[in-house]
Structure 1
Amino acid sequence: MTGTAAAHSQGEPGHVRTRDGRTVFVQRTAGPPGVPTVVLEAGMGATRSSWAAVQGAIAGRAPVVVYDRSGLGRSAPDPGPRILHRLAMDLNDVLDHVGADRYVLAGHSWGGPIVRVATAGRTERVAGLVLVDPTDEGCELYFGRALAVQERITAALLPVLARTGLLRWSTAPMRRGLPADAAADLRTEWLSPAGVAGHLAEAASTVHDLRGLQADPPDTGTVPVTVISGAETSGLGRRSRAALNAAHAGRAGLGPERRHVLALRSGHLVPLTEPDLVAGEILRLVESGRQ
């Protein structure tokens, strides 16, 4: 039998070379001319596949780029420390490579600080930011002893669970609603032993990086910002969810072009549980940034 392979739902594959010579894996889908390109930044330890449902909801209405940070998915590990500013530099390298005039950047969880830092100093090319249940330095829970203990336990358990395959089994609920090819990628790449190593490399400096954001907040100027908060506790606990969403509300209240949206049917994994809501907020900024 002859014929060409079916296109992947997340688009044409390729690689971007960072300023220090590393390569990261990217996928791109096309969109109409004259609108900003959407770039989707995954949460800590997550791969591009976590955005597949949102990307599908945007399909045909804007160009979309997804990628794997170093050490995640199909991107090779980084020999250097995975500190926040290094992650943001890598994102800017991706944007430079894509070469669009204007972008709408969406970041989930730890992706929220990454897109904020990447935008600072390059605000002229960013038409809008969508922060999806983002990690936020305004939430003091990130600096408490309870979270530090939880992170130490997680760092000890995750490699064991990855080696036994239990983590891959646990991704089954996350894969629901994804295109079959993206679901298969997520199963093999997210929460694999290599993926867990990448996650832990990023997690190592989280508190230090958040303290740095408190001391020197990234200046995103007048770039419009939408913050989407999960409304369900999903293991966070009611008090923790309330504290995080209060920080999100504060982030959204820092300027006239800011908006706070509740994802009423979601906990933390909003891109997987309410992709249409996220896509709608992204497309609203795409439309306002149309040339």
Structure 2
Amino acid sequence: MTTLTETPAERRSAGAPPVEAADVHVRLGASPVLRGVDLRVAAGEVVALLGANGSGKSTLVRTLVGVLPPTSGEVRLFGRPLGDGVPWGRVGYVPQRVSAAAGVPSTAEEVVASGLLHGRRLRLPRGWRDRAHEALELVDLADRRRTATQQLSGGQQQRVLIARALVRRPDLLVLDEPVAGVDRPSQEAFAATMARLVADGTTVLVVLHELGELAPLVQRAVVLRHGRVVHDGAPPRPRPGHEEAEHEHVHPHAAPRSERGEGDMGLAEGPFEAGMSTTTDEVAP
């Protein structure tokens, strides 16, 4: 395994926190989804965002990275309000799904390299193959870089998406249910990758159904219910049986990535386009 040349610890700002949200409300049509959410994630923190289906978790992270506009309230990343002033190159985002034009075959290397396209950058920079190789090494998939993504397992596809976020060498990594629908070996490989990133000082905000393999890394849990924060503090203890080695942390609410169409793994335009996420919007009752 290699370490990226510039570590997040060397480059992150000592000033403003990577994530600040103040009284954020989001409505989808006439339905309220987020109702006055406050959230602050400090540099180097690992924060898990928990809650039942429909609690607003995915809507919150999509709002934080600018995919969805807040109805009211304010979001700041690295001290700057959402918009062109945000240093998007310092942010890595892994949505539940990534979509592209159907029928466009992409190798793992090509998908990872697409993470270098953001803002007005429409062409890959020099040395993009080396950057993609480094990112794939971090998720133990360098040997599959020329493999078409539709030929990879669900767990391997997920690791490719994580490498796509890591190729930016981000200071802030935002992940939306990264282990949903993947097998235990892939969960363990993902946890090992995350441990290395956290050791390098990467700030992590991750949506989880349950802590699972990431429990040792999570420093703080924020729990949403009906679009409101109902807990912000120590991570909850696992339910009986969920901490046992034989328990599979795979839940029926998310289809395994290996069952999704090949279009879900293609190239995406811009930093975090609205079309990247095809998950169902959560509506709080």
Q: Give the TM interval when normalised to the shorter protein.
A: under 0.3
More strand by share: 2
More contact order relative to length (CA 8 Å, sep ≥ 6) = 2
Normalised by the size of structure 1, how large is the TM-score?
A: 0.25
Normalised by the size of structure 2, how large is the TM-score?
A: 0.26
